[in-house]
Amino acid sequence: MEDKPIHLTEKTNQRSLYALDGLNFFLADVRGGVGPFLVIYLLAVLHWNPAKIGIVMSVMGIANLLADAPCGALVDAVKKKRLLIVAAALLMGVSCISITIFPKFYCISATQIVNGVVSALFGPAIAAITLGIVGHQKFAIRVGRNEVFNHAGNVATALLAGIVGYLLGQEWIFYLVAIIAGASAVSVLLIRDDDIDYLRSRGGAIKTTPDGVVALSVRALFADRKILIFAVAVTLFHFANAAMLPLAGELLTQHHETFASLNMSACIVAAQLVMIPVAFLSGKLGDKWGRKPVFLIGFAILPVRGFLYILSYNPIFIVCVQLLDGIGAGIFGVLSLVVVADLTQGTGRYNLVLGAIATALSIGASLSIVVSGYIVNAWGYNAGFLFLAAVAAVALTIYGLMMPETKGLQPISAASLPEKTEKNSA
């Protein structure tokens, strides 16, 4: 399906694009909730025990896991995607403030459920708005720019939260996130609704009728071999990646306990800083060279990173190895969105597939931490890192040998599909 022209002045369209920059910057940390800061607050201020903290922290992850696919389908179906982000951001802000007002176990657990559900909306909603504004041909470059602002926002928010928590108290971090959530809502409202093409934002459609949009059936969608191969490859990638930083953090704590927090912060900030130029280049090169050669670089770096961790426990060396995470994750953050857009052209199910793959990634991350924990407990950290490196090598092999280049794939059309389709009211 060809991109429809948007009948707007260049000035009007630029305003929406600049507002999209602001949205990605402000939503950087809002989309993940208060995360690590909540752990510090519960431990240092409320004096909760680790078991109680673990339950509350797991609630958000479970809620997010269950909400990913439904939220993707919701983003596909709803035309007013800006209002989805406004509602989600405001709910996130209110729930963060509620943590300080009602610091009880069940109340905080409830806020974590809310945060888990609404955070599942942000990723597909931003991707949909971006695709709806710029169209498929410019999507790779624009997603790269989105990720630049996203990583810059992560760094800025982490630094600001640290300063606010130190000067004003830990509870003010929650107020800060609420303020940033409000800024996110303002940013998305500055995007003109008319600049977002509804059909493009959901990956087009097989065809449209006076009654609505005819989309590919879910059964036919997930029978697509290319989508299944991609889902398996990226899930294994995430399985291998998710536990590496926590294991590195444990090593730093065991061997350099005095500076463990400082070293861990250095790992996180260093990776985020590397992700900024990598995200920009990933969009540019993915558009120029094709998706597969650039994505293969991200896949190839992960097994190398896992192997390097076993060579030294020196904190400076570990921080340097963590820089590779900035390359791998920077490429993954951009091209995973772009490849899914390539695979779902003409299906009308772009955001549903994004949500389904996000569910698989979450399952992979959870299993990664559990399995690697057992391996480390039985055979040590070197065995854990080598196991993760081996899984990463399998992911690289599957993607390299079985996944075709997706740039230039022809969109699905009604004439090419004998399968039953589903109709969604526009």
Q: So what's the pLDDT on residue 409?
A: 80
Look at residue 223 and give its three-state secondary structure: coil
Region of poorest pLDDT, from 33-42, 170-179, 388-397:
33-42
CATH top-level class of 208-407: mainly alpha
Q: Is 359 exposed, middle or buried (0-12, 13-18, 19+ CB in 10 A)?
A: buried
The alpha carbons of the chain give a radius of gyration, in whole angstroms, of 21
Alpha-carbon gap, residue 110 to 401, rounded angstroms: 45
Asked if CATH classification 1.20.1250.20 holds for the domain at 9-201, the reply, yes or no, is yes
Task: Give the rounded percent of residues in the chain with a pLDDT score beyond 70.
Answer: 85
- Whole-angstrom Cα distance, residue 40 to residue 161? 12
Question: So what's the pLDDT on residue 220?
Answer: 81
Residue 307 clears pLDDT 90, i.e. is over it: yes
Question: Does residue 213 sit in helix, strand or coil?
Answer: strand
The H-assigned helical ranges of 289-314 are 291-308
Query: Which part of the chain has CATH 1.20.1250.20?
Result: 9-201, 208-407
Phi, psi of 5 (to 5 degrees): -70, 145
Distances (CA, A) of 113 to 53, 108, 127, 382: 14, 9, 23, 36
Which tens digit of pLDDT belongs to each residue from 141-191? 999 999 999 988 888 877 787 788 778 877 888 888 889 999 999 999 999
Question: What global pTM score does this model have?
Answer: 0.85
Average pLDDT, stretch 201-205? 80
d(CA 45, CA 74): 38
